[in-house]
């Protein structure tokens, strides 16, 4: 019976997996490439359209759109996107657009607006010293957002995207909702972003978010030349106690048997949090592609999936997913119950291709304490889901609460001041869980310490993983296929279509 170490919040939980359990783990990180050289090559030879040199000819102002490095989830050193941004800025200067005429637009979507230290961390120290242009952080609630032509009357864009001669998007190919044209979508109004959902984070079909993102790209391309740079990121490489995890099964067994695990588990939570923050991985780049943002992103995403995916021969009856103690946006904080559910059901379970990884009516077991702790002030908008009325599973009540929250001037002003996330973000996060919830028969929360919070989201609180597995076997049968997802990092899962007799 294999022992599987799972990171739940700041705790390291060791689960005894059934002998026939399917352990899902990603492949080891791929071969790194020189980011600067690969970026310059991509600028000269895009997949489609004109090279950057031709688009920048005659341009006097250029906007470089970048994304906060919130994805991939986890602590990494030297995010490769910073080198790509610096290379693009230098290339524009060489083409006659000095940094004084460049605008760096941080498109953070509905997450808390980036602070000055977070903006500084987006670029290399060398670029910080020599960049003399303007830095703007997108405000999704700004009443001065620019309208678009009649083809898309409900979409409003950051003025930095339209009041320029060229827009260059620099992002990483993570999902259909993160990177590429979705970076442009993250620079639109809050109501448009609220509609950005997807059945699968890796397939464009059925993705309203991808449709909106490409609509924004086409609309903007009719007014301003567009160019995209997409990075294919490798999985992070850890050293020290996490060496080889989660890519090597021997590493998982070594961690499960290590006496340091017991000392770590006995330490106070602040100590565990500091230890986890010190265990950083190194993230490298496998390739850099360029062209129209949607073209470069789609090709880069396909390469990233092939490089980082695990394969499942058929869907499972039950899947165990541990939830790390971090939010999917910056600043990194402890997730509240809704964000924990989002990480498991929308993000980890949304990274599938070809078929959903759990059978219809199957069970997902989220390993997390689900305590109602809301980091102040960032996560205060999430409190509306945990008031006396259980709004999460009542569509009419949920819609009424969302309408009220969207009109809350104080909540919107707190977002605009950079104190909290946008008040619509919790509703989009919950909506992102819906594709999984519509397929699943039940969601168990193993190790829950706040049963009321679990039930308010419509889930089932259970004492531990062992008890949850027993319940899953009882519901799905003694021969139920059980899987364990080793994460973070979360990774693509290619699932073969279920066979019907």
Both structure tokens of 52: 């950057």
pLDDT exceeds cutoff 60 at 95: yes
Task: Say what the pLDDT of residue 501 is.
Answer: 42
Pair 359, 399 in one domain: yes
Q: Based on C-alpha coordinates, what's the Rg of the chain?
A: 22
Asked, for residue 263, whether it belongs to a domain, the answer is no
Domain count, the chain: 2
Domain-terminating residue out of 233, 250, 278: 233
Residue 71, in any domain of the structure? yes
Judgement on whether residues 113 and 20 belong to the same structural domain of the protein: no
pLDDT in tens, 348-379: 999 999 999 999 999 999 999 999 999 999 99
Question: What pTM value is reported for the model?
Answer: 0.94
Out of 175, 203, 233, a domain closes at 233
Q: CA geometry: angle at 317 spanning 311 and 320, to 5°?
A: 75
**Distance separating the N- and C-terminal Cα atoms of the chain:** 32
Same structural domain, 332 and 198: no
User: Long-range CB contacts (< 8 A, 24+ apart) of 265-268?
Assistant: 265/11, 265/12
Yes or no: say if 108 and 158 are a contact pair by the CB < 8 Å rule: no
The torsion defined by the Cα of 119, 120, 126 and 130, in degrees rounded to 10, comes to 70
Q: CATH code at 14?
A: 3.90.226.30
Note whether 218 and 104 are same-domain residues.
yes
pLDDT over 50 at 342, yes or no: yes
Residue 434, in any domain of the structure? yes
Q: Which residue's structure tokens are 């809301």?
A: 374
Q: Is 410 inside a domain boundary?
A: yes
Query: Which pLDDT score, from 0 to 100, does residue 277 have?
Result: 79
DSSP state of 280: P
CA angle (28 as vertex; 328, 74 as ends), nearest 5:
20
Q: Is pLDDT of 498 > 70?
A: no
State how beta strands 22-24 and 482-485 pair: parallel
Q: Are residues 107 and 219 in the same domain?
A: yes
Q: Which of 217, 357, 201 is nearest to 291 (CA)?
A: 217
Which CA distances in Å does 459 have to 56, 337, 478? 53, 11, 23
Tokens found for residue 392: 């999460």
| Span 476-491, pLDDT tens digits | 999 999 999 988 889 9
C-alpha 414/C-alpha 409 separation (Å) is: 9
Q: Are residues 20 and 74 in the same domain?
A: no
Task: Say if 442 falls within a structural domain.
Answer: yes
Instruction: Please indicate, yes or no, if residue 299 is contained in any of the structural domains.
Output: no
pLDDT digits (tens, 9 = 90+) for 307-340: 999 999 999 999 999 999 999 998 889 999 999 9
Are 10 and 71 part of one and the same domain?
Answer: no
pLDDT band at 157 (very low <50, low <70, confident <90, very high): very high
pLDDT over 80 (residue 76): no
Final residue belonging to a domain, choices 233, 263, 291? 233
Residues 204 and 116 in one domain: yes
- The full DSSP string for 74-124 is S-EES-HHHHHHHHHHHHHHHTT--GGGEEEEE--TTSPPPPHHHHHTTS-
- Of the candidates 478, 468, 474, the one whose C-alpha atom is nearest the C-alpha of residue 16 is 468
367 with 491, same domain: the answer is yes
| pLDDT (tens digit per residue) in 400-427 | 999 999 999 999 999 999 999 999 999 9
Separation of alpha carbons 140 and 200, rounded Å:
25
Range in 23-27, 469-473, 486-490 the model is least confident about: 486-490
- Residues 23 and 29: beta-carbon distance below 8 Å: no
Q: Which of 204-208, 253-257, 338-342 has the largest mean confidence?
A: 338-342
Examine the domain organization and report whether 46 and 22 are in the same domain: no
pLDDT digits (tens, 9 = 90+) for 258-305: 888 888 888 898 888 888 877 778 899 999 999 999 999 999 999 999
Is residue 244 in some structural domain?
no
56 and 132: one domain? yes
Q: Any idea what the CATH number is for the domain that residue 148 is in?
A: 3.40.50.11440
The domain containing residue 190 runs over which residues?
35-233
pLDDT digits (tens, 9 = 90+) for 423-459: 999 999 999 999 999 999 999 999 999 999 999 999 9
Residue 274 lies in a domain: no
pLDDT of residue 153: 55
Share of residues in the chain with pLDDT > 70 (%): 98
**Distance of CA 102 to CAs 14, 65, 288, 376, Å?**
50, 11, 22, 35
Is the domain of 57 the same as that of 12? no
Instruction: Show the tokens assigned to 334.
Output: 């402890």
């Amino acid at each position: 019976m294999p022992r599987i170490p799972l990171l739940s919040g700041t705790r390291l939980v060791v689960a005894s997996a059934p002998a026939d359990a399917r352990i899902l783990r990603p492949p080891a990180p791929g071969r790194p490439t020189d980011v600067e050289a690969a970026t310059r090559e991509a600028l000269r030879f895009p997949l489609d359209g004109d090279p950057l040199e031709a688009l920048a000819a005659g341009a006097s102002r250029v906007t470089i759109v970048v994304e906060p490095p919130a994805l991939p989830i986890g602590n990494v050193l030297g995010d490769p996107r910073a080198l790509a941004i610096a290379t693009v800025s230098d290339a524009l200067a060489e083409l006659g657009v000095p940094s004084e005429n460049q605008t760096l637009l941080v498109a953070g979507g509905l997450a808390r607006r980036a602070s000055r230290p977070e903006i500084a961390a987006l670029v290399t120290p060398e670029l910080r010293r020599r960049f003399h242009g303007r830095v703007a952080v997108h405000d999704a609630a700004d009443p001065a957002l620019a309208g678009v032509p009649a083809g898309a009357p409900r979409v409003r864009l950051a003025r930095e995207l339209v009041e320029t001669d060229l827009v260059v998007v620099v992002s990483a190919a993570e999902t259909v909702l993160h990177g590429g044209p979705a970076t442009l979508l993250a620079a639109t109004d809050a109501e448009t972003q609220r509609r950005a959902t997807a059945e699968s984070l890796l397939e464009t079909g059925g993705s309203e978010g991808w449709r909106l993102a490409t609509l924004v790209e086409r609309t903007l391309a009719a007014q301003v030349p567009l160019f995209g740079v997409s990075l294919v990121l490798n999985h992070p490489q850890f050293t020290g106690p996490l060496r080889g995890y989660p890519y090597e099964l021997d590493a998982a067994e070594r961690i499960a048997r290590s006496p340091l695990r017991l000392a770590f588990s006995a330490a106070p939570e602040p100590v565990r949090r500091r230890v986890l923050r010190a265990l950083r991985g190194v993230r490298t780049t496998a390739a850099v592609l360029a062209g129209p943002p949607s073209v470069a992103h789609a090709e880069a995403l396909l390469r990233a999936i092939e490089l980082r995916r695990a394969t499942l021969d058929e869907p499972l009856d039950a899947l165990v997913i541990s939830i790390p103690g971090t939010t999917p946006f910056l600043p990194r904080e402890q997730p509240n119950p809704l964000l924990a559910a989002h990480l498991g059901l929308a993000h980890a379970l949304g990274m599938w291709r070809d078929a959903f990884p759990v059978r219809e009516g199957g069970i997902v077991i989220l390993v997390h304490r689900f305590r109602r702790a809301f980091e102040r002030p960032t996560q205060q908008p999430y409190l509306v889901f945990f008031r006396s009325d259980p709004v999460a599973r009542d569509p009419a009540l949920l819609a009424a609460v969302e309408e009220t929250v969207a009109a809350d001037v104080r909540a919107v002003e707190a977002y605009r001041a950079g104190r909290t996330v946008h008040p619509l973000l919790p509703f989009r996060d919950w909506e992102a869980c819906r594709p999984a919830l519509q397929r699943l028969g039940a969601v168990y929360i193993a190790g829950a310490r706040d049963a009321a919070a679990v039930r308010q989201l419509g889930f089932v609180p259970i004492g531990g993983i062992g008890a949850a597995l027993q319940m899953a076997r009882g519901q799905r049968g003694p021969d139920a296929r059980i899987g364990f997802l080793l994460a973070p990092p979360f990774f693509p899962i290619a699932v073969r279509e279920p066979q019907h007799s």
